[in-house]
Amino acid sequence: MAARAVWLAFRGGLGRRQAFSTKANVQVKARVAERTSPVTHALRFIPQGSGRITVEVIEHLERLALVDFGSREAVARLEKAVAFADRLREVDTDGVEPMESVLEDRCLYLRSDNVAEGNCAEELLQNSHRVMEEYFVAPPGNISLPKLVNKNPSYTAKW
Amino acid sequence: MAAPMLRGVSPVRRWSLAWVDGGSRHRRTSPNGSTSNRIREQSSVAQQPLHTAQKPRKGGHKWAAVVGLEIHAQISSNSKLFSGSQVSFTAPPNSLVSFFDASLPGTLPVLNRRCVEAAVMTGLALNCRINKKSLFDRKHYFYADLPAGYQITQQRLPIAANGSLSYGVFVGNRWSHMATKTVRIKQIQLEQDSGKSLHDDLRSQTLIDLNRAGVGLLEVVMEPDLSCGEEAAAVVKELQLILQALGTSQANMAEGQLRVDANISVHHPGEPLGIRTEVKNLNSIRFLARAIDHEIQRQINELESGGEILNETRSFDPKLGCTVPMRDKEGKQDYRFMPEPNLPPLVLYDTASLPAGADSQQVINIDQIRDALPELPSATRKRLVQQYGMLPEHSFALLNEAGLLQFFQNVMKETRAEPKKVTSWVLNTLLGYLKHHNLAVSESPITPSALAGLLDLLDSKAISSSAAKQVFEELWKGEAKTAAQIVSEKQLELMQDQEALERLCQSMMEGHPQVVTVAGGAGPSHLSS
Identify the band that residue B89 occupies on the pLDDT scale cut at 50, 70 and 90: confident
Q: Which residue of A has its CA nearest to B76?
A: A113
**3-class SS string, A79-123:** HHHHHHHHHHHHCCCCCCCCCCCCCCCCCCCEECCCCCECCCHHH
ipTM of the complex: 0.71
pTM: 0.75
For CA atoms B36, B40, B46, B52, the dihedral sign is positive
What is the distance in angstroms between the Cα of B452 and the nearest Cα belonging to chain A? Answer: 42
Q: CB contact, 8 Å: B152 with chain A? A: no
Strand order in the sheet with B64-74: B129-130, B160-170, B178-192, B216-222, B64-74, B258-267, B277-282, B313-317, B322-325
Contact B214, B193 (CB under 8 A): yes
pLDDT digits (tens, 9 = 90+) for A60-102: 888 777 788 878 888 889 889 999 999 988 889 899 888 878 8
Nearest partner of B299 among B267, B338, B337, B262, judged by Cα: B267
What is the distance in angstroms between the Cα of A115 and the nearest Cα belonging to chain B? Answer: 5
Q: H or E element: which one contains A4? A: helix A2-14
What is the distance in angstroms between the Cα of B372 and the nearest Cα belonging to chain A? Answer: 19
CB spacing of A107 vs B344 below 8 angstroms: yes
Average pLDDT, whole number, for chain A?
67
**Statement: residue B121 has pLDDT above 90:** yes
Residues B458, B468: Cα–Cα separation, whole Å: 7
Q: Which residue of B has its CA nearest to A119?
A: B95
CB spacing of A41 vs B334 below 8 angstroms: yes
Residues B277, B299: Cα–Cα separation, whole Å: 9
pLDDT at B227: 92
Taking residues A34-56, report their average pLDDT. 50
Taking residues B467-489, report their average pLDDT. 81
CB spacing of A108 vs B341 below 8 angstroms: no
pLDDT digits (tens, 9 = 90+) for B366-417: 999 999 999 999 999 999 999 988 888 888 889 988 889 999 998 888 888 8
Q: Which residue of A has its CA nearest to B330?
A: A145
